[in-house]
Amino acid sequence: MAAPGDGGRFLVIFDFDETLVNESSDDAVVRTAPGQALPDWLRASYREGQYNEQMQRVLAYLAQQGVTESAIRAEIQSIPETPGLSALLDFLRAHAQDFECVVLSDANSVFIEAWLQHVGARQLFLEIFTNPAHFDDSGRLVLAPFHAHSCPRCPDNMCKQHILRDYLGRRSDERRRPFQRVFYVGDGANDVCPCLALGTADVAFARRDFPMHRILTHMQQMPAALTHTQQQTPAALTHTDTQTDTHTQQQTPAALTHTHTHTHTQQQTPATLRATVQPWSSGHDVMEYLQTAVGER
């Protein structure tokens, strides 16, 4: 990728869970637990809007059960990529002069770095914005929130729009020019907020039939309406069955046979979507759109 200060004409932002990888990495790590599941008391400890704190408890539990760093890394590295991702990443490598790529995810640094290094894609991404994590001297994976913020749409630990706006401002100063266009590739409800920072020339790639796609489609159909923005929670980590959504969840091993759920944080806040919404089902869909953008000088 281009060095900071240079960079391509276009910025591509990727979510991680169910965008780069075809599963929630937080669901995947649960498979390292005894019986490949969390105890009911731990799943029931989740509180709405405090998902980062819940994952801290989950990781502490795994350490108490003797789950090792190598077991966690191996499980994360085994997560399959989303369909067509390799072709998309190959295209971006071949057009590095045109594209600057970053990851913006509510997962954590250990999971994302481990997976990207494993598939040989780390060098493609100039920066990774995610919750910091590290293995301490005892072998426990320690997780912290990315930042504090006041956005009513987002979980307590991360507002992706705040991060994106800061990045766009900083890179414009470093490059001495703004990006020609910005492309955001995501799937979840927490990918909606950053898309509200996009302009009319930009594109929000929303994974077809996932929460981001449904919410943005609703916003397009009712642009003046108050928008209910939902925070998606990986199902393996929660206990309360609040809403079942069979279209947006990946299947899990038989040991995790509970009903998949979404816990929702609803904020009735006016929102304006200016970007084009482009559904995607595979990396090929995104690649074909970007190929057209490269040809438009």
Tell me the catalytic residues. 15, 17
Q: Please state the φ and ψ torsions of residue 115, each to the nearest 5 degrees.
A: -70, -45
33 vs 27, 61, 143, 250, CA distance in Å? Answer: 11, 8, 17, 19
First to last CA, the chain: 20
- Cα(256)–Cα(6) distance, rounded to whole angstroms? 47
Q: In this structure, what token pair is assigned to residue 96?
A: 């590095």
